[in-house]
Structure 1
Amino acid sequence: MTERKNIGGFILFTMVIAAVFNFRNVINNYVAIGTLAAPAFFIATIIYFIPFTLIIAEFVSLNRNSESGVYQWVRSSLGGRWAFFTAFCYWFVNLFYFISLLPLIIVYATYMIAGKGVHVETWAIAVISIVIFFIATWISTHGAAWIGKVTSFGATLMLAMALVFIVAAVLALFGGITAANDLSIAGMKLDPSSGLTTWAFLGTLSWIIQGVGGAESIGVYLNDLRGGAKAFVRTIVIAGITIGLIYTIGTWLMAVFVDKNDVNYENGVFVTMAAAAEHFGISGSFTIRIVGVIMLAATLGGLMIWTSAPVKIFFSEIPKGVFGEKLVALNEQGVPVRGAWLQFAIVVPLLVIPTLGAGSSVDALLKIVINMTAATALLPPALILIAYWKLRKTYDAAGRSFVMGGRRLGLTIASFLVILFAICFVAATFPEDQALWLTLVYNVGGVVVFLGAGMVWYQRYIRRLRAQDPEAAERELRPSAFEQSAANAAQDAAVGQGDTVVSA
């Protein structure tokens, strides 16, 4: 077995950027709700993304030797059953993310090659997406070093493009340009007369929460990072603040060059960048091709991350016996290869279903899968937040090198976010303008069938374990922080009584 290759802080930073930031999220939310998305991004960064990254940092410091991240985090306070369910849920919802990501690779490739949008039938998009996902799966099995090289290139270009756009928009404003949309605070309001209802906004809010989410996936690379937990905490917090600010400013400045009614989910980034370039006398056609290269490279990098991370989360540290040994076996880079290919096999049919409701419209296809992706993407972080609430409520004495404020603050933040997630999940699962059959089959049916199957499979494992070793079954279901918290509480009590305590 060869030694695991280490990655540095900058590579981890770019991996966070690749997993979380995408200019596409700016476009999607500007198309949906205009400049109202700017304060929504800012608020989401403050009340969700930054606290959530600190929660991740706290779980990481509590489980420094964890390979998978999410599974051990939830097991700390909720036990094995909910840890398995969270890991399964995280892996499951990611399957739908591929459905929104893969078609965009084809869209970006056509703009890069042709300099304009090229009509591609939705069934052809599904077939080509399968081929792309096959290649991505093969690459992802070669570990963090391979993935880091791909994501670093694409993420750096994506970030540079966003910064160039922001600078260009600011210069245009100082140059006296008349903005395409109202940039004032009055323009950032919920206007039901425009067709944007409160229910529709809540559904779109789940897109925004998803847009600033994803940092939890990077927890799986803690053991690949030089500098350990401290470097991890520092890097993801800096990346989170950077991403939130760019999203907020970028969304607001979208209104400088294009009206929200002139862009859609498919062409938004290209129309916007071409308009910005032409304002400064640069060829729009040339700019579109360059943007196509950048978006394609960044999307491929994100695909590498999301092809690898959820598989590691789900298969690398789930209890032995839940699945067969061959399925969960890790290669020398810590990747469950057979699990990755099982994921590929499940994604293939999921690529076909949305095309039935989208007809031949790529934009309609993207709206369907964005809605479903945003709704299901709320489930894993919601379970992590519930686990964190339980940690602070019951096992706050468990030792960790980093803690997000006092116990009351931690409980308040977790409670608020769980309630917010529940509301947004329902609104995104039942969008106003989607066919009822598609909502019931794809949005509701997919969640019920897959998550139900996961719980049934785990219950099967527990029954077998109880029959073989009842004590082991109880240990599996018991939170891992229970013993540590009890030991630390006893130690504190001993110190309070004046006893001498020696820790290893």
Structure 2
Amino acid sequence: MDLYAEKKSYLSVFQMTIMTTITVASLRGLPAMAIEGKASIIMYLVPAILFLVPTALVGAELASTYQGGVYVWVKEAFGNKWGFLAIWLQWIQNVVWYPIQLAFVAAALAFAIGRPDLSNSGLFTTAVIIIVYWLATFLSLQGGNLFAKVSSYGGMIGTIIPAVVLIFLGGMWLATGEPIRDAYTESSFLPKVTGIGSLVLIISNVLAYAGMEVNAVHVDQMRNPKKDYTKSVFLAVILIMLVFIIPTLTISIAIPKRDLGLDNGIMVAFSSMFERFGVGWLGNVFAGAIFIGAIASVITWVSGPSKGLLAAGRTGLLPPLLQKKNKHDVQVGILILQGLIVTALAMIYVLIPDVSEVFLALVGMAAALYLIMYVLMYAAAIILRKKDPKIKRGYSVPALPLVAGIGLIACVLAFVVSFFPAQTSSVIPSSIYTLVVLVVVVILGIPPLVFYALRKPNWDRRTEVEKQATARLEELEEEK
């Protein structure tokens, strides 16, 4: 019986592949990219070459060699302080992203129940954000691989299957001679660069592929981590590109440009195409599927970064209250904290119903922090290859300094342009945009340095066995 329970606790290649795919790929942004028409192909491919592929390759080498995710990778290269900073940056960017993703969940639910008007209700949006987030937290608190089952199957239902259906609908649209819309016909294969805003939009699109490394913290739950995780990463890259490119072209072919800038654009796209083929009721069905997929994405993000943050905190970098774990060995202290933050942010929708642009601006600014984490990750990969040249690696990146260097440069460029607005904002004047970004980066990025400076001996909650194991590893490092 125990053997059966142990076997059931493993994450499969399928689960890790879908979890990684839905961590990165979201249907939410497809309509906005579809406005670019044929140019969207280049706008997807260039960031993929400069960021997604390097991240996948470097992440596969690091995860198949050093278990524990970005915290362990950066710590092994630069020390505990910088490892803590890296995982904090991944975690905090994620926390401020939740309200945007969950507001999308609320819009999908509104369409699924045939009440699209509710997507503009601040009260409805707030209620959905709070209920869904705490449901995701509850699932994560159950431990084991329950979260993986929910997120992987939910991802299939709400991301992979709808993407495949969009591809099918695109083929049907062309085969039946339906009109091709202006977003596609008026575009060229080369993106239009009309100023700094256009350049910022193109370069900053690297963040469309952020998250490839998030699920590496679960690699120790796979039966054969070195082989299976690497395989899942490469399969995820293929799925991510399929989810992004062809469905985006389908939307640009079938949906008028005027309808593509809406927050609920993906639901409008499905409804419009299904109505054109006389099965409008399927629009509600697929809105429900997208609702499930978006929840699966949130569940995946809830469990990943917080687990890595706990690993760092247990070395004495977080107060004991935030290191608290439940009977399933899950980071209950951190999950409750981020739940309270998300709940507080959700309440803003009640006070200011039309607040989506504010959150989009905040998430865009917080993304600058995420880029710092990626710079640390790429640099760690280069340092660890030199530092541990003889260690057995599950996967080795060919020409790693070049591959990691390309990703690092892409992140530095994206970080620099993140201080410039991609377009005129009614919320933040362009004259002070750079200053506001700087303030957000400092406020959200400084806490780990404060925790590190204030750390106390009694914050170290590791067992004696864990401390001895760490000490032995440090001795081995010094001998090298």
TM-score under structure 1 normalisation? 0.81
Distance across 2 between alignment mates of 1:463 and 1:431: 48
Distance across 2 between alignment mates of 1:224 and 1:271: 39
Specify the alignment match of 1:309 in structure 2.
304
Distance across 1 between alignment mates of 2:389 and 2:178: 55
1:106-128: CA deviation from partner (whole Å, max 9, x where unpaired): 11111111253325443653354
What secondary structure sits across from 1:383 in the alignment?
A: helix
1:33-81: CA deviation from partner (whole Å, max 9, x where unpaired): 4543332112222221122111111111221xx3x31110111212111
Distance across 1 between alignment mates of 2:363 and 2:191: 21
Distance across 2 between alignment mates of 1:353 and 1:128: 13
Specify the alignment match of 2:415 in structure 1.
422
Contact 1:115 1:288 in 2 (8 A): no
1:201-225: CA deviation from partner (whole Å, max 9, x where unpaired): 424643x323222121110111111
What secondary structure sits across from 2:418 in the alignment?
A: helix
Specify the alignment match of 2:445 in structure 1.
451
Contact 2:70 2:86 in 1 (8 A): yes
Distance across 2 between alignment mates of 1:274 and 1:346: 34
Question: Alignment length, in residue pairs?
Answer: 466
Specify the alignment match of 1:271 in structure 2.
268
| Residue number among 335, 338, 344 corresponding to 1:343 in the alignment | 338
1:341-387: CA deviation from partner (whole Å, max 9, x where unpaired): 1111223333355877xx54365456445534544443332321232
What secondary structure sits across from 2:447 in the alignment?
A: helix
Equivalent residues in 2 for 1:212-361 (5 A)? 212-283=209-280, 286-331=281-326, 333-352=328-347, 359-361=352-354
| Residue number among 29, 52, 56 corresponding to 2:55 in the alignment | 52
Query: What is the root-mean-square deviation of aligned Cα atoms in Å?
Result: 3.5
Give the Å deviation of 1:93.
Answer: 0.8
Q: Structure 1's 182 and 119: CA in aligned 2 closer, same or farther, altered over 3 A?
A: closer
How high is the sequence identity, in percent, across the aligned residues? Answer: 20
Specify the alignment match of 1:73 in structure 2.
73
What secondary structure sits across from 1:401 in the alignment?
A: coil
Distance across 1 between alignment mates of 2:185 and 2:242: 18
Distance across 2 between alignment mates of 1:432 and 1:134: 35
Specify the alignment match of 1:117 in structure 2.
117
Aligned amino acid, residue 432 of structure 1: T
Equivalent residues in 2 for 1:15-54 (5 A)? 15-31=19-35, 33-54=36-57
Distance across 2 between alignment mates of 1:90 and 1:363: 22
Q: Structure 1's 351 and 319: CA in aligned 2 closer, same or farther, altered over 3 A?
A: same
Q: Structure 1's 387 and 70: CA in aligned 2 closer, same or farther, altered over 3 A?
A: same
Contact 2:200 2:420 in 1 (8 A): yes
Aligned amino acid, residue 443 of structure 2: V
| Residue number among 410, 414, 436 corresponding to 2:428 in the alignment | 436
Distance across 2 between alignment mates of 1:34 and 1:482: 57
Aligned amino acid, residue 303 of structure 1: V
Q: Structure 1's 261 and 269: CA in aligned 2 closer, same or farther, altered over 3 A?
A: same
Contact 2:169 2:250 in 1 (8 A): no
Give the Å deviation of 1:395.
Answer: 5.1
Specify the alignment match of 1:469 in structure 2.
none
Give the Å deviation of 1:174.
Answer: 3.4
Specify the alignment match of 1:168 in structure 2.
169
Gaps of 5+ in 2: 460-466
Give the Å deviation of 1:300.
Answer: 0.9
Q: Structure 1's 485 and 37: CA in aligned 2 closer, same or farther, altered over 3 A?
A: farther
Distance across 2 between alignment mates of 1:440 and 1:183: 33
What secondary structure sits across from 1:436 in the alignment?
A: coil
Distance across 2 between alignment mates of 1:396 and 1:69: 20
Distance across 2 between alignment mates of 1:30 and 1:373: 25
1:238-258: CA deviation from partner (whole Å, max 9, x where unpaired): 111221133122222221101
Equivalent residues in 2 for 1:126-205 (5 A)? 126-157=126-157, 158-181=159-182, 183=184, 187-191=188-192, 197-203=195-201, 205=203
Contact 1:143 1:333 in 2 (8 A): yes
Q: Structure 1's 123 and 369: CA in aligned 2 closer, same or farther, altered over 3 A?
A: farther
Contact 1:354 1:369 in 2 (8 A): no
Q: Structure 1's 371 and 407: CA in aligned 2 closer, same or farther, altered over 3 A?
A: closer
Specify the alignment match of 2:464 in structure 1.
none
Aligned amino acid, residue 196 of structure 2: T
Q: Structure 1's 174 and 163: CA in aligned 2 closer, same or farther, altered over 3 A?
A: same
Distance across 1 between alignment mates of 2:420 and 2:474: 35
Distance across 1 between alignment mates of 2:189 and 2:100: 27
Aligned amino acid, residue 236 of structure 2: A
Contact 1:355 1:365 in 2 (8 A): no
Aligned amino acid, residue 177 of structure 1: E
Contact 2:107 2:116 in 1 (8 A): no
What secondary structure sits across from 1:45 in the alignment?
A: helix
Q: Structure 1's 148 and 415: CA in aligned 2 closer, same or farther, altered over 3 A?
A: closer
Contact 2:368 2:441 in 1 (8 A): no
Aligned amino acid, residue 374 of structure 2: P
What secondary structure sits across from 2:263 in the alignment?
A: coil
Larger displacement relative to structure 2 (16-25 or 125-134): 125-134
Distance across 1 between alignment mates of 2:184 and 2:230: 35
Q: Structure 1's 347 and 441: CA in aligned 2 closer, same or farther, altered over 3 A?
A: farther
Distance across 2 between alignment mates of 1:248 and 1:47: 16
Distance across 2 between alignment mates of 1:39 and 1:463: 52
Specify the alignment match of 1:495 in structure 2.
none
| Residue number among 367, 371, 374 corresponding to 1:381 in the alignment | 374
Distance across 1 between alignment mates of 2:350 and 2:365: 14
Give the Å deviation of 1:303.
Answer: 1.2
Q: Structure 1's 462 and 86: CA in aligned 2 closer, same or farther, altered over 3 A?
A: farther
Distance across 2 between alignment mates of 1:463 and 1:93: 28
- Which is higher, the Rg of structure 1 or of structure 2? 1
Distance across 1 between alignment mates of 2:56 and 2:85: 21
Give the Å deviation of 1:463.
Answer: 9.7
Aligned amino acid, residue 135 of structure 2: I
What secondary structure sits across from 1:114 in the alignment?
A: coil
Contact 1:169 1:253 in 2 (8 A): yes
Contact 2:43 2:202 in 1 (8 A): no
Distance across 1 between alignment mates of 2:291 and 2:192: 35
1:165-212: CA deviation from partner (whole Å, max 9, x where unpaired): 1122123223333310354795244446xxx64324424643x32322
